[in-house]
């Protein structure tokens, strides 16, 4: 696949390095690799626009047709080797809302646990320490989030959250497991392990 190179004099913030004449290395995040992105590659006193398609992996090459004419004044293409940076998920429960639910949960490349809670919910306060504990133990494997249904009615309505606490487990944007009520730690741990086992089988 070929991508046309474009030049500009502005400074770039994209991590990259030269590998050999006409070939460069560019580092992108795992999320950018999954969804595709557009980056600027700094080369000498100019920079080239690199359109990276979705689904690339470390070692993938993107070809910029005739770009060496811009960088070196000679005919030829520029090859950009992609390096995907593996990012560890933050330990602890992440608070999300209607606005970022899609990005944080549905588009996440790893399994996600979402705890739905609300103000004045005593059972929710009982479950919270358990989800925090599991978030730390499964950091990097299971992303753990919480969403306040009082402040974020859109997601709560979409998933028909009628009682809280309620926990949904997502993978690839789909609900694959759930828990309702103030269940004990062993129950949530078992469900978490089940989801992670499901993830291994899917891979």
| Length of the chain in terms of residues written | 203
Which of 14, 108, 124, 144 is catalytic? The answer is: 124
Answer for the pair 134, 144: CB distance below 8 angstroms, yes or no. Answer: yes
For 28, the token pair is 């992108």
| 14 carries an active-site annotation | no
DSSP string, 103-170: IIIIT-SS-EEEEEE-TT-HHHHHHHHHHHHHHHHTTTTSEEEEEETTT-HHHHHHTT--SSSEEEEE
- CA–CA dist 111, 150 (Å, integer): 25
Which of 14, 108, 121, 144 is catalytic? The answer is: 121
Residue 61 Cα to chain centre, angstroms: 22
Active site residues: 121, 124
């Amino acid at each position: 696949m070929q991508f046309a190179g474009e030049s500009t004099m502005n400074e770039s913030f994209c991590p990259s390095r030269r590998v050999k004449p006409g070939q460069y290395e560019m580092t992108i995040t795992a999320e950018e690799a999954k969804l595709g992105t557009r980056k600027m590659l700094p080369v000498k006193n100019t920079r080239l626009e690199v359109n990276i398609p979705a689904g690339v992996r470390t070692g993938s090459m993107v070809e910029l047709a005739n770009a060496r004419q811009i960088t070196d004044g000679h005919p030829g293409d520029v090859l950009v080797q992609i390096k995907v940076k593996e990012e560890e998920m933050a330990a602890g429960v992440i608070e999300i809302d209607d606005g970022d639910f899609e990005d944080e949960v549905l588009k996440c490349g790893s399994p996600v646990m979402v705890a739905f809670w609300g103000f004045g919910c005593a059972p929710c306060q009982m479950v919270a320490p358990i989800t925090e504990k599991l978030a730390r133990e499964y950091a990097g494997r299971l992303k753990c989030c919480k969403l306040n249904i009082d402040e974020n009615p859109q997601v709560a309505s979409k998933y028909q959250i009628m009682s809280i606490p309620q926990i949904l487990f997502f993978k690839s944007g789909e609900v694959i497991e759930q828990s309702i009520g103030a269940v004990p730690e062993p129950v949530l741990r078992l469900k978490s392990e089940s989801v992670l086992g499901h993830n291994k089988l899917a891979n």
